[in-house]
């Protein structure tokens, strides 16, 4: 499925204020989302505590359910923004610890400077007790459409598979946070997803022998247990993300709400287009 040029996000006026002032988008851990079946599996692991998502809709037509669910009494806003919204970072492969096989650079010419594209600086990817796994940035999945199904074989899979021939345990990580039941189809959801693992304490890096840290990191990355301590991540928007942005006022926004929204636009993105809901005056 082709990626849409624009995505839509329903939020409160307070949420709009945070986005415009910080120029960042929040990624929430799966166990903090409204669908309590998110991240279910047949594995003895609570995958919800390892995955973070930012949720958007691809439908340009206004959605009464989305207004109702994600804006207080329909007095919030809907943000329209281009899909390629996040700031890109280019990391020098030589500056990344060698225990992280982020990319295959074997085909690069000798002496070539290899840079890797991510959407977070390395300092944020490798936290004190977690690592945001590089496959999160794959173009096929940044973002991806949610698949709606009532097939229990997709909603609750055996995601951990052991290969006896290679003596390796693999996790079908791209299957997690991908499916929702048919009752959620009205969301027409597209997601940006971060996949994390437990990691060796970042504070030990450089304080112990490199091989010791390597061994500790491998052990931590291969351990599945209590999940990630972080509840949210905030990713920076690209400098031009607000170009062409549209802010749609909710169906029940009053004059006071509109004054606040206009003040936010004047302060943070004066080029934004402000419009009123087509449903205004049509819903009690």
**Which H or E run contains 101?**
none
Closest CA to 126 of 102, 157, 159: 102
Please report the pLDDT score of residue 240 as a whole number. Answer: 92
pLDDT digits (tens, 9 = 90+) for 85-113: 999 998 776 666 665 555 555 665 666 67
Name the DSSP letter for residue 225. Answer: S
Q: What is the pLDDT of residue 170?
A: 73
Mean pLDDT of 3-29: 97
Res 106: pLDDT:
60
Looking at residues 117-134, what average pLDDT do you find? 85
d(CA 230, CA 127): 9
- Model confidence at 250: pLDDT above 80: yes
Computed over every residue of the chain, the mean pLDDT equals 87
Confidence at 279, pLDDT banded by 50, 70, 90 = very high
C-alpha 88/C-alpha 267 separation (Å) is: 25
| SS3 state of residue 206 | coil
Mean pLDDT of 69-98: 88
pLDDT value at residue 71: 96
Predicted pLDDT at 274: 98
CA distance 167 to 272: 55
More confident residue, 276 or 211: 276
Please state the φ and ψ torsions of residue 182, each to the nearest 5 degrees: -55, -30
Q: Peptide bond preceding 143: is omega within 30 degrees of 0, i.e. cis?
A: yes
| Residue 17: predicted pLDDT | 98
pLDDT computed for residue 173 by the predictor: 78
The per-residue pLDDT for range 18-60, each reduced to its tens digit, is 999 999 999 999 999 989 988 888 877 888 888 999 999 999 9
Q: What percent of the chain has pLDDT over 70?
A: 89
Residue 193 has pLDDT above 60, yes or no: yes
> What pTM value is reported for the model?
0.88
**C-alpha dihedral sign at 108, 111, 112, 114:** positive
Buried b or exposed e, range 173-198, using 16+ CB within 10 angstroms = bbebbbbbeeebeebbbbbbbbbbbb
Residues whose CB is less than 8 angstroms from the CB of residue 35 and which lie 6 or more positions away in sequence, other chains included: 180, 181, 184
How large a percentage of the chain has pLDDT more than 90? 54
> In angstroms, rounded to a whole number, what is the distance separating the alpha carbons of residues 22 and 13?
14
- Measured in whole angstroms, the distance separating CA 90 from the mean position of its chain's CA atoms is 19
> Which of 36-40, 211-215, 231-235 bottoms out in mean pLDDT, i.e. has the lowest?
211-215
pLDDT-based confidence at 215, cuts 50/70/90? confident
- 246 pairs with which residues across the strands? 80, 273
Residue 85 vs residues 42, 120, 192, 248, 253: alpha-carbon distances, Å: 35, 13, 11, 18, 27
Distance, CA of 250 to CA of 8 (rounded, Å):
13
């Amino acid at each position: 499925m082709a990626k849409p040029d624009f995505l839509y996000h329903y939020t409160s006026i307070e949420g709009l204020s945070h986005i415009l002032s910080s120029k960042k988008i929040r990624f929430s851990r799966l166990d903090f989302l409204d669908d309590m079946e998110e991240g279910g599996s047949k594995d003895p692991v609570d995958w919800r505590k390892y995955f973070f998502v930012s949720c958007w809709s691809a439908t340009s037509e206004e959605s009464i359910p989305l207004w109702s669910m994600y804006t207080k009494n329909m007095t919030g806003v809907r943000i329209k923004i281009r899909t390629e919204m996040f700031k890109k970072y280019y990391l020098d492969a030589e500056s990344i610890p060698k225990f992280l096989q982020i990319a295959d650079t074997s085909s690069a010419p000798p002496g070539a400077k290899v840079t890797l594209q991510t959407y977070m600086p390395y300092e944020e990817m490798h936290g004190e007790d977690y690592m945001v796994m590089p496959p999160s940035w794959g173009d096929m999945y940044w973002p991806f459409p949610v698949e709606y199904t009532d097939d229990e074989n997709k909603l609750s899979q055996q995601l951990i598979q052991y290969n006896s021939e290679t003596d390796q345990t693999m996790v079908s990580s791209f299957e997690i946070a991908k499916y929702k039941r048919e009752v959620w189809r009205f969301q027409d959801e597209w997601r940006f997803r971060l996949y994390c693992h437990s990691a060796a304490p970042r504070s030990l890096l450089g304080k112990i022998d490199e091989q010791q840290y390597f061994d500790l990191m491998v052990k931590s990355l291969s351990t599945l247990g209590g999940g990630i301590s972080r509840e949210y991540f905030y990713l920076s928007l690209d400098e031009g993300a607000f170009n062409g942005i549209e802010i749609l006022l909710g169906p029940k926004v009053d004059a006071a709400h509109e004054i606040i929204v206009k003040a936010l636009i004047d302060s943070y993105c004066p080029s934004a287009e402000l419009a009123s809901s087509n449903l205004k005056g049509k819903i009690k």
